[in-house]
């Protein structure tokens, strides 16, 4: 059972996810993409599986600080969004949980306690 939790350590949503996984006894590796970065293949895989709207966070301050040109490019082209997410990992919704759990592939984006309880029972 290899689960990797991707995100940013200081994020409040991440803290909820860590607490819940610990309560459920789920072992995991943590990948802090603020410190470790993220590769294009991973982001592309998440976007292909979950959709850009699920992975791309337009609610945060990082999005609001972008130039109008950057925002227009992101809205026009998924490839541009992926490059933007790699450069600005704060715009990737958190957490991303990926791996194999009880012989089943897992790919989740965001924290939903009910979903965690169901998947990691």
- Please tell me the total number of residues recorded for the chain in this structure: 121
**Confidence label for 17 from pLDDT (cuts 50, 70 and 90):** very high
Q: Which residues are catalytic?
A: 11
**Chain Cα centroid distance, residue 78:** 16
Q: In 3-state terms, what secondary structure has residue 31?
A: strand
pLDDT in tens, 24-68: 999 999 999 989 999 999 999 999 999 999 999 988 888 888 888
The pair of three-digit structure tokens given for residue 2, joined into one six-digit string? 């290899």
Residue-range domain boundaries for the chain: 2-56+93-119
Mean predicted confidence (pLDDT) in 3-18: 95
Label residue 37 exposed, middle or buried (CB < 10 Å: 0-12, 13-18, 19+). exposed
- Compute the distance between CA of residue 83 and CA of residue 103 in angstroms, rounded to an integer: 32
Q: How far is CA 47 from CA 10, 53, 112, in A?
A: 24, 8, 19
pLDDT in tens, 68-118: 888 887 888 888 889 999 999 999 999 999 999 999 999 999 999 999 999
DSSP tally for the chain: helices H, then strands E: 7, 4
CATH number of 2-56+93-119: 3.40.30.10
Please give the pLDDT value at position 1: 56
């Amino acid at each position: 059972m290899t689960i990797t939790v991707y995100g940013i350590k200081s994020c409040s949503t991440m803290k909820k996810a860590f607490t819940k996984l610990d309560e459920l006894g789920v072992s995991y590796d943590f990948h802090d993409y603020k410190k470790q970065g993220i590769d294009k293949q991973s982001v592309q895989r998440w976007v292909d599986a979950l959709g850009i709207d699920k992975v791309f966070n337009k609610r945060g301050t990082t999005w609001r600080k972008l130039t109008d040109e950057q925002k227009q490019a992101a809205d026009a082209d998924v490839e541009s969004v992926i490059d933007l997410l790699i450069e600005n990992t704060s715009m990737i919704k958190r957490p991303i949980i990926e791996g194999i759990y009880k012989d089943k592939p897992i790919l989740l984006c965001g924290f939903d306690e009910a979903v965690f309880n169901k998947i990691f029972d």
